[in-house]
Amino acid sequence: MDLRGKTILLTGASSGIGLALSRLLAQEKVKLALLARRENILRRLAVELKSSGSVILPLQCDVSKKEDIRKSYLEVKSQFGQVDIAILNSGFSHRAGVEHFEVDVARDIFDVNVFGMLYFIEELLPDFKCRKEGIIVGVSSLSDCRGFPRSGFYNASKAATTFLLESLRIELKKFNIKVITVKPGFVKTEMTERNQYHMPFLMPADKAAGIIIKGIKKEKRLIQFPLPMVLGTKLLKAMPDFMFEMIAGRIKK
Ligand SMILES: NC(=O)c1ccc[n+]([C@@H]2O[C@H](COP(=O)([O-])OP(=O)(O)OC[C@H]3O[C@@H](n4cnc5c(N)ncnc54)[C@H](OP(=O)(O)O)[C@@H]3O)[C@@H](O)[C@H]2O)c1
């Protein structure tokens, strides 16, 4: 698929994978709506990308707020006419052990990682169904494979995301709407900067963004990387529970 001329809506554009995606997508001569909460970063980014030949629309949006999503989507439609591809990438993680078991943290994570995506899909679907076209790209994670200690809220949010996207992909086929699931391994971003444990095959955000864009152009149903991590998570998933618990139980940080 040629991205030139397409209208792309991207959430979580202010840092990490989203920021890298913004810079690479702008090179494709597209109409690009960049969403996140930190408006100052988005405005600076829009100035930076001005000479790319793409049309850039920075929009402040908190994806945990349904009203923000509705307002942003209407603004994108009024400026660009329609959305062809929505890349729903906003997300955050939080690691804490049972010593700090706070349901409010779980709610915050689900509000952004799961409901932030679902609210957007709710807005997009009527238009996509009517046009019988559209691509939804949802960013999940390879960490959806099992419940790791201290990361249960995040892992559960990503497992939910993966399952929701999969069921939507099957159901939306008859409307010619494509659903792509992105499952990165460790990527060097603000999110992983806080991690104090070893992150195998950690890759730069621009490399991850390049793989994601290549996958979108090929309209792959699943974009997962890097390969050693993909194979590793398959192994973890197939592993007997007692063995996983023994290995994961050794994770200290
Ligand atoms: N880095 C990794 O190793 C890794 C691995 C697998 C999956 N992922 C997934 O990749 C996606 C991007 O993560 P990243 O690593 O690039 O992290 P990041 O650098 O921390 O970026 C997260 C982005 O999400 C946005 N965001 C957070 N809360 C938001 C909210 N309430 N409303 C709107 N936007 C919000 C942030 O923008 P504002 O703060 O400006 O709102 C930021 O642009 C996430 O879904 C993450 O789960 C990351």
Is residue 1 one of the residues assigned to a domain?
A: no
State whether residue 117 is helix, strand or coil.
helix
Q: What is the pTM of this model?
A: 0.97
Report the distance separating Cα 58 and Cα 65, nearest Å. 18
Does the structure show a pLDDT above 90 at 216? yes
Does the structure show a pLDDT above 90 at 140? yes
Is residue 20 one of the residues assigned to a domain?
A: yes
Tokens 């992983």, residue located: 192
User: Residue 191 C-alpha to ligand 1 middle, in angstroms?
Assistant: 7
Condensed to tens digits (0 to 9), the pLDDT of residues 86-104 reads: 999 999 999 888 998 999 9
Percent of the chain residues topping a pLDDT of 70:
99
Give me the active site residues, please.
154
Supply the residue whose CA is at minimum distance from atom 35 of ligand 1.
Answer: 90
Is residue 2 one of the residues assigned to a domain?
A: no
For position 250, what pLDDT does the model report?
86
User: Residue 117 C-alpha to ligand 1 middle, in angstroms?
Assistant: 12
Sheet with 7-11, side-by-side order of all strands: 55-60, 31-36, 7-11, 85-88, 135-139, 178-184, 222-225
Is residue 16 one of the residues assigned to a domain?
A: yes
Domain count within the chain = 1
Which structural domain range is residue 42 located in? Answer: 7-248
For position 97, what pLDDT does the model report?
87
Condensed to tens digits (0 to 9), the pLDDT of residues 21-75 reads: 999 999 999 999 999 999 999 999 999 999 999 999 999 999 999 999 999 999 9
The closest-lying atom of ligand 1 relative to the alpha carbon of residue 191 is 20
Task: Give the domain CATH number at 36.
Answer: 3.40.50.720
Specify the DSSP element, H or E, that contains 166.
Answer: helix 152-172
Pocket of ligand 1 (CB under 6 A): 11-18, 36-38, 61-64, 89-92, 112, 139, 141, 184, 186-187, 189-192
User: Residue 84 C-alpha to ligand 1 middle, in angstroms?
Assistant: 22
